[in-house]
Amino acid sequence: MRILVTGANGMLGRDLVPALAAAGHETAGVTRVAFDVTNRDETLRAIGEAAPDLVVHAAAYTRVDDAEREPEKVFAVNHAGTRNVVDACGARGARLAYVSTDYVFDGTARIPYQEADPTNPISVYGRSKRMGEREVERLGNDGLIVRTSWLYGPHGPNFVEAILRQAREKGRFTVVNDQEGSPTHTEDLAEAIAVLVDLGAGGKVHFSGAGSCTWFEFAREIVAQGGMSGVETLPVTSESLGRPAPRPVYSVLCLDRYVSLTGRRPRGWKEALGRYLERRGRAASKPDDRHKEVGIS
């Protein structure tokens, strides 16, 4: 297939393009320089001229706390921008794969969320992504919505790097211990999307690292696998950090539909973390000020 990937310079996009190309597809990645999804005319023109068989829409506004302060900008990208991409795909007769989030759920469940479970986002970011999902639903089976959670990868700011930096620089830090989810390596998600695309899957599919943990437990595992001795990690509540955006306290995704469709079981989150650290080279590398802290202090 001829595939167009939006958000190609993002943390996920930079893994998606090679994963789709490796699966044998003619893949082109585009950034905001090529066209701005919030500009309807630009989007219709650019996708029409590219003539893809499928668009993987990974471009998004993902700064969860900033979203609370600038909702107009968030909805312009995640809702209206997605509507523009959906309309362009409809006009072209192209399929669409849309990357969504566990934040469409409110976190009140105590068992992993299935695709058909009711959504009730509690943050501006979550609401904007759910509105984007509703646009994709207009395409019927030509629209694929892949929900994921707690992404980290080698091509952008992420929790793993933030923890490693804190461990090097402070040796003692706190991490929230009242939010439970599933860390997901971007390389694993990109490969999963490539498999789903090949299968012609439609509707909603959940994908994440297998298993679950709190951010505190994730941080402890990062420190342990990073071989960083003498580091003290302390648990705190989300309320004590006073972050602008509320987070689901439980957002573990049920992976059964992905397994049923593909016959593949997602890598466990601890194994995926080990793979990330191994590929990273050395856990204690030079600090990178681009990496944001997520729920740590």
CA-CA distance, 88 to 94, in Å (whole number)?
8
How big is the CA angle at 66 (ends 56 and 293), to the nearest 5 degrees? 90
The Cα 26–Cα 191 span in angstroms is: 16
- Cα 208 to Cα 181: distance, rounded to the nearest angstrom: 9
Q: Which of 125, 152, 258, 276 is catalytic?
A: 125
- Provide the b/e sequence for 272-295 (b: ≥16 CB within 10 Å): bbeebbeeeeebeeeeeeebebbb
Distance CA 183, CA 205 (A): 17
Q: Which amino acid is at 66?
A: D
Separation between Cα atoms, residue 79 and residue 175, nearest integer Å: 31
What's the rounded Cα separation, in Å, for the pair 187 and 152? 9
Please name the amino acid found at residue 120: N
Indicate the length of the chain as a whole number. 297
Phi-psi group of 121: left, alpha or beta (phi > 0 → left; psi -120 to 50 → alpha; rest → beta)? beta
DSSP-based three-state secondary structure for 265: coil
Residues 236, 28: Cα–Cα separation, whole Å = 43
Q: Clarify whether 258 is annotated catalytic.
A: no
Side by side, the strands of the sheet bearing 26-30 are 26-30, 2-6, 54-57, 95-101, 143-148, 203-206
| Residues annotated as catalytic (active site), given as ranges | 125
